[in-house]
Amino acid sequence: MIKLFRLLKYTCLLFAILISSSCDNDFNNIESDVIGEENINFNVVKTSSNVLAYNKRLDSLRINNLRSSLLGVFNDPIYGTTTASIVSQLSPTTNNATFGINPVLDSVVLNIPYFSRQTGTSSASNIPIYTLDSVFGNKNAPIKLSIYRNNFLLRDFNPNSQNVEAQNYYSNAFNNINNTAITDNLTINFDNARETLLYQIDEFTPSNSAIITNPNADPLQFSPPALRLNLTQNLDGTVNSDNINLWTNIILSQSGLSTLSNPDNFNDYFRGVYFKVETINTDGQIILLNTDGANISIHFKNENEDKSRLTKTPYVLNFGQNILNTFKNDFTPSLSNGDSELGDSQLYLKGTGSMAVVDLFDGLVNCEETNTEETALDCFKKTYRQRVDTGYILQPGETEDENGYARRNGNFILKRIINEAILLVYEDENTILDTNAHQNDKVYAYDVANNTPILDHNVDGTDPTLGLRQTDENGISSYKIRVTEHLNRIILRDSSSTSLGLIISSTPNITNSSEILNSKDVVTGVPTSTLLTTRGTVLHGSNTNVEDNRRMTLEIFSTEPN
């Protein structure tokens, strides 16, 4: 730990303003963030720590039950093309369904909501105007969309587990041949498992138009934009008699039969739908869909006693417990695991492709606190913790541990307080050519050991600039990631979580984890939000080949009594 400089002395009042706290008599209680009247003078000290950062290739990420799913083609200017398709179970909302006397199919409507927001209302027609927040890529480039009946049985439970465990499915994203997923003992090719073609659009682009849900109402009734398709109509709106017959045989002909008696029987009979995406002219766009709210509704009529036909309540199939997002990556450069000994010069952050691992305290240092060579982690702890043999007098309720450090209520007592700690990461401007495309990028750090957000994630929400790409007056772009509370937990409670994972995320509030199948290293999962992030970035790493003013740095600002 190398002391770089000392700032001027401040008053206790100014310090209280800086940390939003009031003065107190107890300097050693970190939770109060105060210094006490007897220590009214103090110095602010900036130090830096040796960090080690390297790449981790993201193979075999869990891709089922994500709640939101990507569908489409995204051509990243740095990495290349990612194609995302969807496979889903369908779950009936009604068990033991019967459709009455001589049922006749009217329509079959697919509805998957987009993520959108209303931005106005048309003055002429009073129709809501929406903006889509979930479409990325070349919005002028359509994609080919084919919807098939899937014939692969998506299990809810793993038959090979000793206990009753859920069946998970994992990405096979670096296979750029077919839409595949893997389990602990199986590779599934959904192109080989597709059955009947249910619908196809050769050139599909999402629409931001409001959907008229009741044209006969006054005023008209609308719903927000969605991937809404009438599967029994042609693209020009005419009736497709073949699809009418197809869905009549699939659903209405099963009236009262065991195939519709419960979800398990239905899942074995109708094993779901497969949305296959293909690029047109090597380009396209990708849509983030709210698959948690997706369904297919079957509209029909039947006869009553006087032989007249009545419209009945639709038979609704919700997207089921298992929704898989398959990915195909055609990446250049080819991504691989990095150098965990020396660190990497470039860090690749890309959704289902790659992340970075950061060890906050790497190797040995000449520790100023002890005047000896120590591990960086040991030196960090000794720099901030209060030793009893330095003249410190234990107060009531405080004890000395076996290593001579003072503790209270299980926490170490501190002689120096961390006010702010920032992991400073620079963008690789030589690789990022279209810098404007990355102006809204956000780098997100998580606790690798526990697959959870770091404590600072909640604090980050009060400062939207932290973790967000920033560019200074010289055109140098960087990300500032607050790790203050994460470091406090290490020195206060001896937390062993000294490694962070860095991902790029457009939705950092999605903090649940997607585990890695049979991981053999420190990274066992990643935040799900990175799977749903399309764009990638490249950062400068920690290797000594990186220029000093671009190398990743951990900056710690602390206060100590004078």
Is the pLDDT assigned to residue 528 strictly greater than 60?
A: yes
Angle value at C-alpha 99, between 97 and 102, nearest 5 degrees: 155
- pLDDT mean over 125-133: 89
Q: Is 39 helix (H, G, I), strand (E, B) or coil?
A: helix
Q: Taking the complete model, does pTM exceed 0.75, yes or no? A: yes
Of 363 and 11, the structure prediction assigns the larger pLDDT to 363
Is the pLDDT assigned to residue 82 strictly greater than 90?
A: yes
In the chain, % of residues over pLDDT 70: 89
The mean predicted confidence, pLDDT, of the chain is 87
Return the pLDDT at 42: 54
Is the pLDDT assigned to residue 363 strictly greater than 50?
A: yes
Query: Of 27-36, 100-109, 120-129, 366-375, which range is least confident?
Result: 27-36
Is the pLDDT assigned to residue 460 strictly greater than 70?
A: no
Return the pLDDT at 334: 79
| Cβ–Cβ under 8 Å, residues 387 and 401 | no
Q: How far apart are CA 205 and CA 138, in angstroms?
A: 10
Structural domain spans, the chain:
2-57+336-561, 80-331
Locus of tokens 């404590």: 455
286 token code pair? 């990708």
| Cβ–Cβ under 8 Å, residues 205 and 152 | no
Nearest to 378 by CA among 1, 29, 2: 1
* H or E element that contains 267: helix 263-269
- pLDDT mean over 181-195: 95
Is the pLDDT assigned to residue 232 strictly greater than 80?
A: yes
In degrees and rounded to multiples of 5, residue 243 shows phi and psi of -70, -30
| Longest CA span, the chain | 99
Q: 53-64, pLDDT tens digit by residue?
A: 999 999 899 999
Residue type, 367: C
Nearest to 54 by CA among 352, 343, 363: 343
376 token code pair? 């960086």
Confidence class for position 134, pLDDT limits 50, 70, 90:
confident
Is the pLDDT assigned to residue 345 strictly greater than 70?
A: yes
Bridge partners of residue 445, in order along the sequence: 502
Distance of CA 95 to the CA centre of its chain: 35
DSSP 294: -
In the chain, % of residues over pLDDT 90: 69
Of 225 and 67, the structure prediction assigns the larger pLDDT to 225
Burial label, 401 (beta-carbon count in 10 A; 0-12, 13-18, 19+): exposed
Return the pLDDT at 43: 66
Instruction: List strand residue ranges (DSSP E) for 386-466, in order.
Output: 398-400, 406-408, 411-412, 417-426, 443-447, 452-453
Residue type, 399: T
Burial label, 331 (beta-carbon count in 10 A; 0-12, 13-18, 19+): buried
Return the pLDDT at 92: 96
Return the pLDDT at 19: 36
Confidence class for position 8, pLDDT limits 50, 70, 90:
very low
Q: How far apart are CA 251 and CA 243, in angstroms?
A: 12
Return the pLDDT at 12: 35
Burial 112-132 (b: 16+ CB within 10 A, else e): bbbbbeeeeeeeeeebbebeb
Is the pLDDT assigned to residue 161 strictly greater than 50?
A: yes
Taking residue 461's Cβ as centre, other Cβ atoms within 10 Å add up to: 11
